[in-house]
């Protein structure tokens, strides 16, 4: 790979751009146009109690958020909500930990339950399962290599973060009572991927962050079939944070409601807007990567039940690789582009994860810098 640090021709802008985190600021423009329709007024006397609905197993879930979640899934057709418990969390980050905790506790053994995910995996799973040094579960890494006996939890992310592929379980022990799965559907929404069927798994995680881009609200939800699992998840959240901010829930409910209302509109459909934006970004990225040493995954088309046509996938992250033996994260860093190292995702130095959800100007600078790396390489030849 080219060594670009001393090359004068590349300086377009001096700022470091951070595409390591998937901060979804790309959608701000859409919500600016929606204007006051999403504005929520909260008075000093509102939302003071810890409790939202004492009759609900998840008593800190605001009923209007529960309603908005069910309506949105119904309209999009991406997940079944009937006969399951909704557990709200401070982001799906908290819910993933709650689910791992609940399943491990209910496994009831004395040995830690193994937790695995197929590489390349969402690197935060590693921190989520190791940080508190729990004795109840143990991160065992790549699910493709997992062959231990005993209880285990497989984290399945589909479409996958970081590489955008559609995933199913890879450990596959269908008759094993000790095999548990948590499905993370953060990106199973029509702007990223065709909605090919309505998901119907035991534990499904969703995040407000990656649907609309409101990551700062820190709202996620789990759709859980089993009552005991839901109960234990709720207990975890009570111990961890005694519920979830009501202000955030009320604001999320309002935005999800507007999202649902506009999703049949010809002019204001958020998913249409998001899909067009992602398509445009992916096409421009592929153009830069074309005829270079960089690589990007190819995705199969699928029939999207939401849009009623066959569509491509436009993942929230680009899983950028290189054909050369090089440390790509460092090559990009020299260009003042921060990305997530493939090694952190259980992969190699030749891959990085790059966020596709930055603001437009940042994305443009990224493309320019990438194009320059390619240009310098061809001059080298
Ligand atoms: N799961 C996946 C696959 C993600 O990419 C993210 C966000 N990066 C999360 C969960 C966490 O989302 P939240 O903001 O709701 O905590």
Pick the range with the lowest mean pLDDT from 109-118, 169-178, 301-310: 169-178
Q: For the segment 192-249, what is each residue's pLDDT rounded down to a tens digit?
A: 999 999 999 999 999 999 999 999 999 999 999 999 999 999 999 999 999 999 999 9
- The confidence band for 377, taking pLDDT boundaries of 50, 70 and 90, is low
What is the distance in angstroms between the CA of the first residue and the CA of the last residue of the chain?
A: 11
The whole-number pLDDT of residue 380 equals 54
Question: Distance between CA 91 and CA 209 in Å, rounded?
Answer: 8
What pairing do the DSSP bridges indicate for beta strands 294-295 and 317-322?
A: antiparallel
Nearest to 166 by CA among 129, 203, 139, 199: 199
Q: How far is the CA of 11 from the centre of ligand 1 (A)?
A: 33
The whole-number pLDDT of residue 2 equals 37
Q: Write the DSSP assignment of 187-222 as a string of letters.
A: T-STTTS---S-B--SEEEEEHHHHHS-GGG-EEEE
Work out the average pLDDT over 263-267: 92
Kindly state the helix (H) or strand (E) to which residue 132 belongs, with its residue range.
Answer: none
Q: Dihedral, CA atoms, 16, 19, 20, 22, nearest 10 degrees?
A: 140
Work out the average pLDDT over 349-374: 95
Pocket of ligand 1 from Cβ distances under 6 Å: 22, 91-93, 122, 157, 161, 184, 186, 207, 209, 215, 220
The whole-number pLDDT of residue 8 equals 38
Delimit the domains of the chain by residue range.
12-32+270-380, 46-263
User: Does the ipTM surpass 0.90?
Assistant: yes
Hey, which of 124, 128, 204 would you mutate to test ligand 1's pocket, going by the most ligand atoms within 8 Å of its Cβ?
124
Q: Name the pTM for this structure.
A: 0.95
Average pLDDT, the chain: 94
Work out the average pLDDT over 288-297: 94
Q: How far is the CA of 299 from the centre of ligand 1 (A)?
A: 22
Cα-based angle 326, 330, 333 (whole degrees, multiple of 5): 145
DSSP letter (8 states) at residue 320: E
Say whether pLDDT at 4 is over 80.
Answer: no
Say whether pLDDT at 10 is over 70.
Answer: no
Q: Dihedral, CA atoms, 58, 183, 64, 239, nearest 10 degrees?
A: 30
Say whether pLDDT at 144 is over 60.
Answer: yes
Nearest to 235 by CA among 106, 83, 370, 346: 106
Q: For the segment 79-131, what is each residue's pLDDT rounded down to a tens digit?
A: 999 999 999 999 999 999 999 999 999 999 999 999 999 999 999 999 999 99
The whole-number pLDDT of residue 376 equals 67
Nearest to 297 by CA among 282, 309, 311, 310: 282
Question: Distance between CA 282 and CA 302 in Å, rounded?
Answer: 17
| Overall fold of domain 46-263 | 3.40.640
| Overall fold of domain 12-32+270-380 | 3.90.1150
Percent above pLDDT 70 for the chain: 95
């Amino acid at each position: 790979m080219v060594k670009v640090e001393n090359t004068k021709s590349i300086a377009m802008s001096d700022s470091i751009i951070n595409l390591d985190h998937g901060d979804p600021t790309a959608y701000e423009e859409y919500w600016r146009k929606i204007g006051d329709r999403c504005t929520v007024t909260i008075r000093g006397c509102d939302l003071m109690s810890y409790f939202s609905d004492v009759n609900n197993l998840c008593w800190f879930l605001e009923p209007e958020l529960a309603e908005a979640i069910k309506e949105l899934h119904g309209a999009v057709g991406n997940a079944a909500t009937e006969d399951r418990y909704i557990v709200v969390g401070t982001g799906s980050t908290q819910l993933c930990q709650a689910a791992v905790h609940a399943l491990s506790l209910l496994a009831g053994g004395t040995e830690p339950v193994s937790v695995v995910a197929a590489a390349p995996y969402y690197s935060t799973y590693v921190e989520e399962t190791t940080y508190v040094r729990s004795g109840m579960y143990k991160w065992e890494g790549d699910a493709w290599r997992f062959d231990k006996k005993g209880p285990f939890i497989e984290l399945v992310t589909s479409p996958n973060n970081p590489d955008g592929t559609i995933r199913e379980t890879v450990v596959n022990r269908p008759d094993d009572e000790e095999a548990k799965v948590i499905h993370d559907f953060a990106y199973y929404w029509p702007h990223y991927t065709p909605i090919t069927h309505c998901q119907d798994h035991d534990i499904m995680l969703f995040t407000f962050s990656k649907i609309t881009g409101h990551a700062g609200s820190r709202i996620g939800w789990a759709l859980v079939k089993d009552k005991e699992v839901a109960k234990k998840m709720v207990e975890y959240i009570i111990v961890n944070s005694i519920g979830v901010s009501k202000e955030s829930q009320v604001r999320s409910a309002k935005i999800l409601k507007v999202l649902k209302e506009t999703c049949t509109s010809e002019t204001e459909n958020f998913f249409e807007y998001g899909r067009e934006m992602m398509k445009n970004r992916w096409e421009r990225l592929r153009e830069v990567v074309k005829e270079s040493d960089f690589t990007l995954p190819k995705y199969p088309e699928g029939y999207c039940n939401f849009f009623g046509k066959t569509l491509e996938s436009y993942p929230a992250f680009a899983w950028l690789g290189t054909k050369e033996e090089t440390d790509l994260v460092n090559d990009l860093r020299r260009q003042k582009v921060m990305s997530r190292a493939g090694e952190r995702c259980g992969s190699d130095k030749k891959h990085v994860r790059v966020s596709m959800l930055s603001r437009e100007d940042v994305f443009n600078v990224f493309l320019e810098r990438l194009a320059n790396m390619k240009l310098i390489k061809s001059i080298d030849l």
